A and B are shown apart, each in its own frame.
Chain A
Amino acid sequence: MPRCNKSEGHAIDYASKLLSTAEAEAFERHLKRCSDCNKAVESFTTLLNLTDMAEKEVLLPEVALQDIEMNVYKRLAATQEVSVLSRLWSYLTNFAFLFQWQRIAAAGTAVIVLITTAVLVSELRQPKVELQLSDSQSADARIEQYLQQDIQRNLDDAMITRHLRNDAWETDSRLQRVKEQVEGTNWVKFANALTDTNITQAAAKGY
């Protein structure tokens, strides 16, 4: 058992290099005449060398580190999509609150507008998706890019569902998801025009 009352606290601080220069010098003078403290310092120094050595072996996987930025932006893109939807829902509920008696009429009008747009738009032009990431690309651009990739993926899924599985219900569900995703983006016009029929046309054109 150490007898010196400085042996533990000061020895830990000294071994961990937590003492100020003046405190360290004073403790070093004490060390010259205190074997208890010498033993304690030696013990804690050995301990710290061991723990340092053990933790040096903790290797970071390079691949995971490379993907961190991309995954952060993907996460942000996914949340942006949710927030766009919640904002749309908020607008709709506010609208409904203000015009309770017109709710059904408003919903009907919206449906008619959507159908009319879908009928009128005959030529579908799909915006090109920039897939290349560059260092100078802004965070907003990256979030937009991942959002577009997600939309593209859902469109692809809709086409696959329609043509390989011939599942009209699932296709409609996918198309509805694309329409929800594109709120607030420059894809709205394109998405609103999507129907089961022109999905076939789009597929034929190689979109």
Chain B
Amino acid sequence: MSVAESMDKLIDDEMLVSQFQAGRQNAFDELMKRYKSKIFSYLLRSVRNYEDAEDITIEVFFKAYRALENWQPKAKFSTWLYKIAANLAIDYHRAKARHPVYALEDMEIPEANLVATDQYSNPVKEVEEQELGRIIREAVDQLSPKQKSVFILNRYEGLQLKEVAETLGMAEGTVKIHLHRAMKRLQTLLQPLWENNEI
């Protein structure tokens, strides 16, 4: 890591936003570099489709760019960015519910993932693991939209309950209730797997 890169890491998001508001446009590049993977992965988990997740990620940063000029640091920049992403994901799910598209398989597995990566790999085990992963992801998809959002933001994106509450516009206690219900629902759906020694 170069000295310049190390220095960049030391600049916090809010400072970059201030620089952007003061006219240093490159600060937005740095913010995108920091958050594009996180926002993309969050949206991919939410919408389960690469192309849609990419389009919504672009929309998130597009909206952020246009709103950043007047942004006030009431919450962390990252929380605000996740809030934009969460709202767009909700819009996406609403639109999809109104106009359902029946695809054979939304989450396509890239062909490269199906190729054995070394001579000691076990294809049968890999297929079993992929199948297990699919079952678990389907279980997560069966959660209600709020339960799923809370679970993904807290568990996979590493947001604290307070940050999840700010992102989704809920009270912290409500977030905890949704998280508990999500865990209990997943337990009901998946417990047979380990009780029947299928994993």
Contacts and interface: CB of A to CB of B under 8 A. Distances in A.
Interface stretch (B40-48, B72-80, B85-93, B95-103): B40-48
Interface in A1-54: 8-9, 12, 16, 18, 43-44, 46-48, 50-54
Interface residues of A, number: 37
Interface stretch (A65-73, A152-160, A183-191): A65-73
- Per DSSP, chain A at the interface is helix
Of the four ranges (under 10, 10 to 19, 20 to 34, 35 or more), the interface on chain B belongs to 35 or more
A20 to B, nearest CB: 12
B130 A136 contact: no
Contacts, number: 108
B82 interface: no
B155 interface: yes
B180 interface: yes
B67 to A, nearest CB: 13
- Per DSSP, chain B at the interface is helix
A60 interface: yes
Nearest to A66: B36
Nearest to B107: A58
Interface in B17-62: 24-26, 28-29, 32-33, 36-37, 40-41, 44-45, 50, 54, 57-59, 61-62
Given A61-B110, A137-B26, 17 more contacts: A16-B183, A43-B191, A44-B187, A47-B186, A50-B190, A50-B194, A50-B199, A54-B132, A55-B156, A69-B36, A71-B58, A75-B58, A76-B65, A138-B24, A138-B26, A139-B26, A139-B28
23 contacts: A44-B183, A50-B136, A50-B194, A51-B155, A53-B136, A54-B132, A54-B133, A58-B41, A58-B45, A60-B41, A64-B40, A64-B54, A65-B36, A65-B37, A72-B32, A72-B58, A72-B62, A75-B58, A76-B62, A76-B65, A139-B28, A140-B25, A141-B25
Interface of A: 8-9, 12, 16, 18, 43-44, 46-48, 50-55, 57-61, 64-65, 68-69, 71-72, 75-76, 79, 135-141
